[in-house]
Amino acid sequence: MTKRFEVVYRLTLSQGESAESKARGIALEQTAELPRELVPDDVMERMVGRVESVAPAGRDQHLACISYSVESIGSELTQCLNVLFGNISLKRGIRIVDIHWPHRLLEAFGGPGHGIAGVRRLTGIENRPLLASALKPMGLRPTQLARLCRDFVLGGLDIVKDDHGLADQASAPFEERVEYCQAAISAANREVDGQTLYFPNVTAAPWELAERAHHAQQAGCVGVLVNPWLTGLDAMRWIRDRFGLVIMAHPALTGAYLHPSHGIAAEVLLGDLFRIAGADAVIYPNAGGRFGFSRALCERINRHLRQPLGELAASFPTPGGGMSIDRAADWAKRYGPDTIFLIGGSLYGQSDLVTASRKLKQAIGG
């Protein structure tokens, strides 16, 4: 494992640019923010990124590996993101396609508090994919949402989460919603001897987020939903360390980084970054749905969430959408058991949620 923070960039050159000078420019921009001649030699040595390699990779494109010292980051996730893509986000033709993480940063950030194994323990499901659905649409009252909760438990789903747009609207204020929904889940669990979990959306300003996580825990929830790009990525570690809750992360607002020639590859952003920051499960839009993720991309995200990464626990890939009951068995086979399938619209499209949920569960082998 590397001792430095190594970032692999795919560079797309504009007219007149050379790959080597673009790479050297990135190494300076992300650290010293001064031209080379103004940087003292000891700062160059300790703090400025090093261009480790530059190689052609197709027309107008190059792969550059730049390594940064852990000292330039310290042990902070905010500064890690800043070194990764802070100022260069404002340039063009720079795409982060891979990161080699040094042990010290992985230790500092810590990753999932529960991981795949921990979430399995809480749901009592050992060998098959998990099934989740979302409470929607926004605008329903807490009693209506609670009825959906009951149906999903009777249908045998493993996790019910708030839609990520359920915040603190007047139609279903956070505290009231959580009480109604968790009570409905608990009652239905008793009725059918179930173990369905409810994850309310605690995304909010920092002062509210902590209160909502606390409230959710008091109401009996063992997990929550967070939109890390709305709260700041570090909000997840806060929830992990202060509350020990399971964290399911939603990709809202991250899509702008996924541009093919400038940004951060989805498997790095939703795979590596969400995982190191503490997400136990990471939602992404599945191939075949209304977003344009390819199956190959989804499989790369799955791999980044599950593959060995220092001592970090693995996170559950949570593909959302793009899945009908007919195709569920295929998806389960393709993505394997360590997957949470998040099904919304195709369940709501059925006249009877309970029956539709049961069929879906059968289809994936539950």
Size of the site for a second copy (CB under 8 A): 87
For a second copy, which is the closer residue by CB, 46 or 303? 46
- The token pair at 91 is 């340039």
Q: Which stretch binds a second copy (CB under 8 A): 54-62, 122-130, 176-184, 235-243?
A: 235-243
Instruction: Return the residue of 244, 292, 336, 365 that touches a second copy, per CB under 8 A.
Output: 292
Range 111-140, binding a second copy (CB under 8 A): 134, 136-140
Q: Residues 34, 36, 37, 41: is their CA dihedral positive or negative? A: positive
Q: Do 247 and 223 contact (CB within 8 A), yes or no?
A: yes
Range 167-186, binding a second copy (CB under 8 A): 167-171
230 binds a second copy (CB under 8 A): yes
Measure the CA–CA gap between 270 and 234, rounded to whole angstroms: 14
206 binds a second copy (CB under 8 A): yes
Range 245-264, binding a second copy (CB under 8 A): 251-259, 262-264
How does strand 197-199 pair with strand 159-162?
parallel
Q: Do 119 and 280 contact (CB within 8 A), yes or no?
A: yes
Write the DSSP symbol of residue 262.
S
- The neighbour count for residue 144, using CB atoms within 10 Å, is 14
56 binds a second copy (CB under 8 A): no
The residue ranges of DSSP E strands in 164-276, in sequence order, are 197-199, 223-226, 246-249, 263-264
**Which DSSP string corresponds to 155-216?**
TT-SEEEE-TT-SS-TTS-HHHHHHHHHHHHHHHHHHHT---EEE-B--S-HHHHHHHHHHH
Write out the H or E segment, with its range, that includes residue 281.
strand 281-285
The length of the chain is: 366
348 binds a second copy (CB under 8 A): yes
Instruction: Return the residue of 154, 204, 273, 312 that touches a second copy, per CB under 8 A.
Output: 204
Q: Which stretch binds a second copy (CB under 8 A): 116-124, 290-298, 302-310, 311-319?
A: 290-298
189 binds a second copy (CB under 8 A): no
33 binds a second copy (CB under 8 A): yes
For a second copy, which is the closer residue by CB, 235 or 314? 235
> What is the nearest approach in angstroms of a second copy to the Cβ of residue 235?
6
For a second copy, which is the closer residue by CB, 134 or 248? 134
285 binds a second copy (CB under 8 A): yes
Task: Please name the residues in contact with 135: beta carbons below 8 A apart, sequence gap of 6 or more.
Answer: 145, 148, 149, 160, 161, 162, 163, 166, 181
352 binds a second copy (CB under 8 A): no
Measure the CA–CA gap between 68 and 337, rounded to whole angstroms: 37
> What is the nearest approach in angstroms of a second copy to the Cβ of residue 227?
7
Q: CA of 181: how far to CAs of 41, 169, 243, in Å?
A: 60, 16, 20
Instruction: Return the residue of 1, 2, 21, 38 that touches a second copy, per CB under 8 A.
Output: 38
> What is the nearest approach in angstroms of a second copy to the Cβ of residue 14?
9
Instruction: Return the residue of 61, 89, 186, 189 that touches a second copy, per CB under 8 A.
Output: 89
265 binds a second copy (CB under 8 A): no
How does strand 263-264 pair with strand 94-100?
parallel
> What is the nearest approach in angstroms of a second copy to the Cβ of residue 205?
4
